[in-house]
Amino acid sequence: MTKRTIELAPLPSGPGAEYQLGSGKTGKISCKTFKGRIEVNWKVASYSSLISRQSIDLELPDHDLLRDSYNHPRDYFSEFSEPELGQVPAPGKENILSFPKGARAGVFFHNLFEHLDFNRDDTKQMENLITRKLQEYGFDAYWKKAILQMIDTVLCVPLIPDRKDFVLASLTAENRINEMAFFFPLNPIAPSDLVKLFTKNGGIHIKTGFPERLGKLTFSPVGGYMKGYIDMIFKHRERFYLVDWKSNDLGSDIEKYQTAFLAKTMDQAYYILQYHLYILALHQYLQLRVPGYSYQNNFGGVFYIFLRGVDHRKGRQYGIFHDLPSQDIIVALGHALIPGFQGPGR
């Protein structure tokens, strides 16, 4: 016979009436003892939770929360509640390098590029979009000209040397996906595991010292799921590419956006770890969705585009970071992180 643990009783309806306990019969009161097991290291992890010292996970669509924002989450939210400073530039500084900094700017740029039609030569429509987004995010309309020039440069600069036709302006809406979210199951992983992976499978952009810096991360061993958001995926000549928009302020001098400076930023902000995780997620997706897909034949790499530093006069050596990790490191990462990983996708 099942014990009765819940009883329904009508409430008194008259004025001033008080509820009276039933017949006054009471039994021994006790609570059940929890005998289950809570996996304290199981969670939905992300790139941001791996590099952050906070227990809170701020992984949202990537809007350039810098490491200081990860370590101080309140700073991120205050960006959206306080008035934006420095909206109108000083005379002679009307360019994208002097555009206001911070998380609000990051969200603005990401949202702008998400809604841009790269392939449509309609300046009026683009101006209307810029005006609307500037107003939506609280920036002065004075910035419209600088934003328009920046967009024109970003869309028209060749992404790879000697490939003048390889520009974002050639992409149609059918060949790109914006803000793609992903999840994949995650084996238990610790900083020491990442050190071993990147030490053994180092590539051209994994310089001496980066694996050791991974060992300084302070996250506890974690398993469960990995999640993230890829700013843009696009297809060009049967190859797939990953794009991450960056609004980081590296300085008021365009020379600070040379490839060498970008490589340093990629290292210090742990973006190298970020894009390896994102490539692994995209690789898994393409294996499932594209018949005949292989990493070597159909993946073209990742572009981190630092929007403030792209300059048409200087070409792709400024503001654009590109890497194509070896298949070996992506496969090694897959075997280490994903239960039942199926291999290289040959």
In the prediction, which pLDDT does 88 show? 57
List of residues 6+ apart from 184 with CB closer than 8 A: 225, 226, 280, 281, 284, 337, 338
346 falls in which pLDDT band (50, 70, 90)?
Answer: very low
Query: Is it the case that residue 243 has pLDDT exceeding 80?
Result: yes
Out of 69-78, 101-110, 120-129, 195-204, pick the least confident: 69-78
Residue 21 confidence class, pLDDT cut points 50, 70, 90: low
Give the lowest-confidence range in 32-36, 64-68, 146-150, 224-228.
64-68
Instruction: Work out the pLDDT band at 35, boundaries 50, 70, 90.
Output: confident
Taking the C-alpha atoms of residue 286 and residue 188, their distance in angstroms, rounded to an integer, is 24
Q: What is the signed CA dihedral for 278, 157, 324, 63, rounded to 10 degrees?
A: -20
Does residue 322 carry a pLDDT above 90?
A: yes
Please state which of the ranges 233-247, 272-286, 303-317 shows the lowest mean pLDDT. 303-317
Tell me what pLDDT residue 24 has: 59
Q: Is the pLDDT of residue 160 over 70?
A: yes
pLDDT at residue 83 tops 60: no
Distance set, CA 161 to CA 23, 93, 236, 266, 304 (Å)? 87, 30, 15, 20, 16
Q: Give this prediction's pTM.
A: 0.82
**Average pLDDT over all residues of the chain:** 83
- Mean pLDDT of the region 191-204: 86
Lowest mean pLDDT among 125-134, 166-175, 253-262, 335-344: 335-344
Instruction: List, in sequence order, every residue forming a beta bridge with 239; answer none if it has no partner.
Output: 236
Helices (H) and strands (E) in the chain, counts: 12, 6
- What b/e string do you get for 270-294 counting C-beta neighbours within 10 Å, with b at 16 or more? bbbbbbbbbbbbbbbbbbeeeeebe
pLDDT the model gives residue 66 = 42
Domains of the chain, first to last: 45-346 (3.90.320.10)
- pLDDT-derived band at 60 (thresholds 50, 70, 90) equals low
- Tell me: pLDDT of 222 over 70: yes
Q: How far is CA 155 from CA 127, 152, 158, 250, in A?
A: 15, 5, 8, 21
As a whole number, mean pLDDT of residues 284-300 equals 94
Q: What integer pLDDT is reported at residue 2 of this predicted model?
A: 61
Answer yes or no: is pLDDT of 319 > 90: yes
- Residue 44 pLDDT > 50, yes or no? yes
As a whole number of angstroms, the distance between CA 284 and CA 265 comes to 27
**Locate tokens 């061993």: which residue?**
221
Per-residue pLDDT at 53: 60
Over the stretch 84-122, which tens digit does the pLDDT of each residue have? 444 555 555 668 999 999 889 999 999 999 999 998 778
